[in-house]
Amino acid sequence: MSFASLGLSEPIVRAVSERGYTIPTPIQAQAIPAVLSGGDLLAGAQTGTGKTAGFTLPILQRLSTTSASRPGAIRALVLTPTRELAAQVEESVREYGKYLDLKSIVIFGGVSINPQISALRRGVDILVATPGRLLDHVQQKTVDLSQVEILILDEADRMLDMGFIRDIKKVLALLPKKRQNLLFSATFSDEIKTLADGLLNKPSMIEVARRNTTTELVEQKVMLVEQKAKRHVLAHLIKEQQWFQVLVFTRTKHGANRLAEQLTKGGIPSLAIHGNKSQNARTRALAEFKSGDLQVLVATDIAARGLDISELPHVVNFELPNVPEDYVHRIGRTGRAGSSGEALSLVDREESKYLSDIEKLIKRQLPRIAVPVFDMPVVADDSDARPPRAPQGRGRQGQGRGEGRSAQPRSAPRAAEGQRGASRSAEARAAQPRRADGNAPQAARREGAADGNRAPRSANAGAARKPGEGQRSKPRSDAPAPAPRRNADGTLVRQNDSRRTDRSAAPAADARKREGDKGGLSGNGGNPLREVFARGLNALRKLA
């Protein structure tokens, strides 16, 4: 099957083949004719399977073969949940439409509104926007949506959930009654699907794979590890396994800042991206990460949806999301367009409910792998020893609005009201890290500086490293001092624990074997029993 055979004109097919696409993906093969027929559509297909072109190409086709009712009028409106996704979608519109006489622009918050006003004045056929900034334009009467022929909700289930639904309803009220509605996502919960059905007019429904399934191209694993050990385990894995491009998801903005700072201090260049960062910092962090100049991007769910990072090899859930669909989207940043990838979830026992919700959604049990055995540095700062919040059901925590016009959290439907209150106070708690000596830890004091700026790098972190470059061999001045051998939960390995240690090392070694020795999961060389004995004795002396 070819793109031309789906009813697309030569200029569109030419642009698509210049992009390197020869065969439509299954969602494109089904969605393109359905959109061209003019009806409403609810389309679901796994992450990274080409949904963007699935709606963009037929929109371009429809608009290029009919004329606007009024010159310069907005004819298609694409809404996305995040600024970065809006920018990405509009880039695709421009690329696929480069041989057509259609104009597109993107508008989102966090940047000056004036250039957007000027661009809207000049006339535009396809507008890609985040809802918050779009409503700002509505309020200032700088946008006219009365001629919109096609509305597209990308990441539709997110757009219709409690974070966005009020804004979406305001936008819908401004659109002509007669229009084509297109809803695309990799996930649709039953309640969102029912809501979507109510908004659509006799929609066709396309489901390429079973709803809410994760892509087969991602190898998913779970490591059961205590919250306070997670950052050490993560740093160890990144160094030992020489992971380069790693996207790490945390539950809160503060947690993202803190982890990015800790990793950077430990010699792993990292930046955080979340809703409290300036747009400049967000754009820069994502660009550096996409281009391969940045080793680790620590993100909240702001980066979970839609972002297309070419051949991203690793996604890590530092904490599990409390909305199981978000798991599907997070891990879907890897394993895209036919490439394979790995997703590792670090799960504290307090998160076991989230894990079972996720496994229920994706209808499979995720394989558990052993925690690596290694020397964990002793740290006075136990600010991340706090376990994650106990599961409280659905509803996003600690994120507030997806792309708000203000820092105020969105209002939520009744059922979720209590959860959001809980989430805010939990975020506030997390904003006050504790330290044994009662002083604010460095991370907290630096937070202001780190926010919106490049996270401070350690003296010899220098430029981002390529895989294999100086990760193990170079001694670093900021490397943690040799420490007593500890278990993954931070407790000292005692003399009597040696058999236990050996037993816990065994599954790790097995896991490494299973993984074709990618692992590096074992401890130091030499005689492990003697080493454990000596270290244990040392530590006990110190304690005494």
With b for 16 or more beta-carbon neighbours within 10 A and e for fewer, the 474-508 pattern comes to eeeeeeeeeebbbbbeeebbbeebbeebeebbebb
The Cα diameter of the chain in Å comes to: 84
Beta strands, E only, 412-533: none
Question: Segment near ligand ATP (CB under 6 A), from 16-24, 135-143, 267-275, 441-449?
Answer: 16-24
CB of 331 to ligand ATP, least distance (A): 10
Which residues neighbour 361 within 8 Å (Cβ) at sequence distance 6 or greater?
212, 324, 325, 327, 328
Question: Segment near ligand ATP (CB under 6 A), from 50-58, 248-256, 404-412, 525-533?
Answer: 50-58
Query: Residue 485 has which token pair?
Result: 């051998």
Strand bridging mode 126-129 / 76-79: parallel
Please tell me whether residue 21 binds ligand ATP under the rule CB under 6 A. yes
> Phi and psi for 23 in degrees, rounded to 5?
-120, 135
Please tell me whether residue 52 binds ligand ATP under the rule CB under 6 A. yes
Please tell me whether residue 295 binds ligand ATP under the rule CB under 6 A. no
Q: Which of residues 53-72 bind ligand ATP (CB under 6 A)?
A: 53
User: In whole angstroms, how large is the CA radius of gyration of the chain?
Assistant: 25
CB of 330 to ligand ATP, least distance (A): 10
Please tell me whether residue 51 binds ligand ATP under the rule CB under 6 A. yes
Q: Output the CA torsion sign for 282, 283, 288, 291.
A: positive
Burial of 346: CB neighbours in 10 Å, binned 0-12, 13-18, 19+: buried
Q: Taking phi first (over 0 means left), then psi (-120 to 50 degrees means alpha), and beta for anything else, what does residue 65 get? A: alpha
The residue whose two tokens read 């409503």 is 135
Site string for ligand ATP, 174-193 (x = CB under 6 A): ------------x-------
Q: Which of 30, 47, 276, 487 binds ligand ATP (CB under 6 A)?
A: 47
Between residues 24 and 267, which has the closer beta carbon with respect to ligand ATP? Answer: 24
Q: Which of residues 329-358 bind ligand ATP (CB under 6 A)?
A: 332, 336-337
CB of 114 to ligand ATP, least distance (A): 30
Please tell me whether residue 326 binds ligand ATP under the rule CB under 6 A. no
Please tell me whether residue 30 binds ligand ATP under the rule CB under 6 A. no
Please tell me whether residue 49 binds ligand ATP under the rule CB under 6 A. yes
CB of 295 to ligand ATP, least distance (A): 22
Binding-site residue total for ligand ATP (CB under 6 A)? 19
Q: Which of 97, 109, 269, 306 binds ligand ATP (CB under 6 A)?
A: 306
Q: Are 86 and 106 in contact (CB under 8 A)?
A: yes
Contacting positions for ligand ATP (CB under 6 A)? 21, 23-25, 28, 45, 47-53, 186, 306, 308, 332, 336-337
